[in-house]
Amino acid sequence: METNRGVPKTDAGGSPRLTSPTNLEALGFGFEDESWLAALREAETPLPLGSIGPYELLGEISRGGQGVVFQARQPGTRRKIALKRPLAGALSSAGARLRFEQEIEAAAALNHPNIVTVYGMEIVDGSPVYAMEWVEGRPITAWANPSSAAGTEPAVEELHRDPREKLEVFLRVCDAIQHAHARGVLHRDLKPSNILVDASGQPHVLDFGLAKRTEPAERTEFYGLTTASGFLGTPAYASPEQLAGGAVLDARTDVYSLGVLLYELLAGRHPFCEKKGVAAFMRAVETETPVRPSTFDLRLDREVDTIAGKAMAKDRDRRYSTVEALARDLRSYLAGEPIEALPPSSWYLLRKLIQRNRLASVLLALIFLITMSSAIWSTIQSKRLKSALAEAEFRNSLYEKMKGWSPDSILKRADINPYDPRRRQEPPRNPPTPEIVD
């Protein structure tokens, strides 16, 4: 095995180990072109498990454009840690090294319970490596929608995880990202695999490999890390301006990525999952409005649709200006209060007031119904009483007038002819005999 590039050697016990480079050739200098490419390809191949410096490697966890992450054991404490180094190790380009150093600097500046803790950084075999907290967990989308995660057997209680529980965990992620923003760090690569949820339901944000410092005195020599002159990130969760490149990025870029994550947590699918091919996906991100999350989960409503839509607005001026504003609307939604993303109409405000005070609203509604029923019943009874009194007064008046009247006087007053054929009574039995005329 070659010994001039800082790759594993075999020690006396036969275990592979890494040694520090002893000359410039071990760092990639002085090679012919083809030798350099061969050394670079070899550096990027998976390492046989063994050790990196004092760290015992337990397994390779992930490998991407920004570096490779191992599960390792920390010397002395013997605790499990995550160990990350640039993808090409000692042969990394100057830009890759600077990005890696900025990741370490950004992550080390943060101290939040939902952001992985950085233990330290050192140079091992000519390559920077840093150790960080090891998290046993699942990507946040697999946690939220376990039935859609490949190769998993979700527990019964996980099959229909409550949207409120999802939102509460997502809010902790928002708090972590807001903490980073408040300290001048943009993440720029928020995606499910960079947010792990442990067995207790606590999310952990990791991988600040594309982080950008936003202080006025930030170092502009970080090879385009202060502006999106070239695409860096994960296209499925990148904002339209991040995909287009050339724009100065700010907190609203992370707001968009969080909006996509929120949509996926609630709907159980990516907003543009049906798009096939890069070109179709790019067009969808730039021009199409996703189907509302409530279409896929009837437990959701218009308000949460509005929040997710505002976070994913194509025009960043129409998004939430900060992650804090996004979190504030979500908290208002969970508390039954009006959200800022919807216009404050009178009916909407009344409905939210009723939702916040359900018991009082029910009691008031009962009191109102009882009062109205009593009022209606009283009105009806009053009308009946007045009608009865009027009829009694009429009968009494009529009785007073008819006192002392004989039948003949009654007929005379009424001007009624007893033989009138229009009367509804039988004719007299002995009618007068008509005169016979000779």
Catalytically active residues are 189
| Token pair 């229009």 in the structure block, residue | 422
- 269 and 223 Cβ atoms separated by less than 8 Å: no
β-bridge mates for residue 139, sequence order? 196
CB atoms within 10 A of CB 104: 21
* Long-range pairs for 220-223: beta carbons < 8 A, 24 or more residues apart: 221/98, 222/98, 222/99, 222/102, 223/94, 223/95, 223/98, 223/99
Tokens of residue 373, six digits: 């029923």
* Cα separation, 348 vs 334, whole angstroms: 16
CB atoms within 10 A of CB 380: 10
* Cα separation, 356 vs 333, whole angstroms: 10
The DSSP result for 137-200, as a single string, is: EEEHHHHH-GGGSTT----GGGTT--HHHHHHHHHHHHHHHHHHHHTTEE-----GGGEEEETT
* Cα angle value 201/207/210 (rounded, 5°): 140
